[in-house]
A and B are shown apart, each in its own frame.
Chain A
Amino acid sequence: MSFLKVDHVSKLYPVLDDKAKRGESFVVFRDVTFEIRQGEFLTMIGHSGCGKSTLLNIIAGFDQSSTGGVILEGREITKPGLDRMVVFQSFALMPWLTAFDNVRVAVRQAHPDWPPEQIRDWTQKYIDMMNLHGAEQKRPAFLSGGMRQRVGLARAFAVEPKVLLLDEPFAQIDALTRGGIQEELVRMWNATRNTVFMVTHDVDEAILLSDRIALMTNGPEAELAEIIEVTVPRPRTRAELIDSPDYVRIRNHILHFLVKGAKKSKHTGKDAPAAPAIESKPELQPTT
């Protein structure tokens, strides 16, 4: 049995603003099906509007799928819960709480039966793991973007969820800081081996972090085009990554896909000529 299964999920909105088309539906994406193994890091890449963040929200339970469903350990997801923590693009830290309290609130909710000292020690452990020492008593407004997202990651990891959902977590962080946090995320993930579903625009980020990368075609009526196995051996660092031939090959493949293959003919809604195939033969088919 699979760990997390996204099963024929579609998202439709009723058309309200156009009289002629009233009653019809606007399809964001259709029939998306894939599975994530326990402990796997899967990233979804696609252009803006392909519905990848919507899909993440459906897995988180913030949004409902129009058809199909998401199954985690044999149970269908209906609402948000502590077994799926989200790391938000906008950080979503409570600005009235200190960095420490932002994490502590989550720990307290995850372990209501713990005494305060245990909650505090557990919180401190994750604060330290994300290199936030010294910033505990600062409010988010007084932290840099990178530090804020470290708090967001500490909050998510501290709950020890079954699935970690990362919604373009580094998009609002400047490029120089981003690299450092990505490597910290790699370290955290290696230590915890959480199951992760991430959504991003950043191809390098996806290759650095992921076991597999799912490619979405352009929306509306986006579809899951293919899932690529990232064959670059772990542990990976950004420095070593650049010289890896696998990295170059996978990167080119994704970029070709994003530039050409993700486009679809508007009239038929069918895929345009596919991206050039990868020379060697890693599993390019969706592993279902």
Chain B
Amino acid sequence: MALRPSWKDRFGPYLLSLFILGLFLLVWEGATRPPRFDAKGKTEDQLTTMEFNGDIVKDAAGHYLWNPDKVKGIPGPMKVFEKARTELGEAFVKKGTNDHGIGLLVGYTIKRFMAGFLAGSVVAILLGVLIGLSKPLFLALNPFIQVLKPISPLAWMPLLLYSVKDPFWTAILVVFMASLWPTVANTAFGVNSIRKDYLHVAALLEMSYLRRLFTVVLPAAAPAIIAGLRISFGSALVAVVPAEMLLGELGAGYLTWIEWNNLDISGVIFAILVVGFVGYALDFAFGKLAALFTYTEV
């Protein structure tokens, strides 16, 4: 009995999470609750004009309230929840050329992200292995990498847009640029710092260059490569949202911006939350995948 974790140990942290969430929603609700409309000191004419303008509405009992659809400031959680319900209800509906359901938008973002990230990672790992295995190549290419590395992937956008003349490919290339450098640097480091023993074994066994690469070098550097991919993954995820915003390419980031253009702040908040959940889901999936390639060092 004593060996089983107590109810408190197992669920306590999650209860605390729920509590924090509840507290946050309460504070949010409290801070954004619309002020009560005070009809005192206003003439019947003024009230009629305000009602006509849509500033106030009459409830069932005949009292005036501020119009809940015309609130200024940040909308409360209930409004965002309502918005989310409508959006999720028509997640896969195409209403027009630019008005696609949230499920479709998320799908576009994930496709765009995966295309850029996979292409960037393949190039980065190849480049990293090459310079990791060759000291002269590393020394020759290092200055370029050091200069290119700190450039924000978004800074490439005008040049890319000008070169490829297509926002669809530009968005993918921005993600590509964002996923390049951390993987290059980590792969080169990982390949360069492989334990001498493993290379000695490969030499004893007279492995060919390719066999050595696939049976010794890449597995030995795998933990470092995966660490690099993970950093690239985050940086690519951060880049994909503003790329969509700036290029007007349909996606979760695009939704954020279009809702802002609609002055639909609930929509903006909903879109931000969607970006967060999509990022979390992708990172979770990546973590599961990465676990397949890690091992315990001896």
- Interface residues of chain A, those whose CB is within 8 Å of chain B, are 60-62, 79-82, 84-86, 88, 90-97, 105-106, 109-110, 139-142, 148, 159
Contact = CB atoms under 8 A, between A and B. Distances in A.
B145 to A, nearest CB: 28
Interface stretch (B158-166, B170-178, B195-203, B238-246): B195-203
Closest 3 CB pairs of A and B: A141-B296, A92-B197, A109-B205
7 contacts: A62-B200, A80-B204, A92-B195, A94-B201, A95-B298, A105-B205, A105-B215
Nearest to A143: B298
B219 A96 contact: yes
A141 B297 CA distance: 6
Contact of A96 (B195, B207, B222): B222
A142 to B, nearest CB: 8
Contacts, number: 61
Interface string B210-223: 00000110011010
B295 interface: yes
Given A94-B216, A105-B205, A105-B215, A80 B200 contact: yes
A91 B203 CA distance: 15
B207, B295, B298 pick with most chain A CB within 10 angstroms: B298
Interface string B184-200: 00000000000101101
Contacts of B219: 94, 96-97
Nearest to A88: B197
Given A82-B204, A97-B219, A110-B205, 18 more contacts: A62-B203, A80-B203, A81-B204, A82-B206, A84-B204, A86-B204, A90-B197, A92-B197, A92-B198, A93-B298, A94-B198, A94-B201, A94-B215, A96-B295, A109-B207, A140-B298, A142-B296, A159-B205
B205 A106 contact: yes
A93 B222 CA distance: 16
A91 B298 contact: yes
Interface residues of B, number: 19
A82 B205 CA distance: 5
Contact of B296 (A85, A86, A95, A148): A95
Contacts of B203: 61-62, 79-80
A85 B203 CA distance: 10
Nearest to A57: B200
Given A90-B197, A94-B219, A96-B219, A141 B298 contact: yes
A215 to B, nearest CB: 27
Chain B interface mostly helix, strand, loop or mixed? helix
Contacts of A91: 298
Contacts of B198: 92, 94
A85 B296 CA distance: 25
A36 B197 CA distance: 26
Interface in B254-298: 295-298
B247 to A, nearest CB: 41
B201 to A, nearest CB: 5
Given A81-B206, A109-B206, A140-B298, A92 B201 contact: yes
Contacts of A105: 205, 215
- Interface centre among B198, B205, B295, by most chain A C-beta atoms within 10 angstroms, is B205
A150 to B, nearest CB: 14
Residue in B215, B216, B222 whose Cβ sees the most chain A Cβ within 10 Å: B215
B197 to A, nearest CB: 4
A50 B215 CA distance: 35
A132 B2 CA distance: 37
B270 to A, nearest CB: 44
A110 B298 CA distance: 25
Contacts of A109: 205-207
Contacts of A79: 203
B295 A141 contact: yes
B213 to A, nearest CB: 14
Nearest to B297: A95
Contacts of B195: 92
B295 A95 contact: yes
A88 B203 CA distance: 14
A233 B153 CA distance: 74
A138 to B, nearest CB: 11
B272 to A, nearest CB: 40
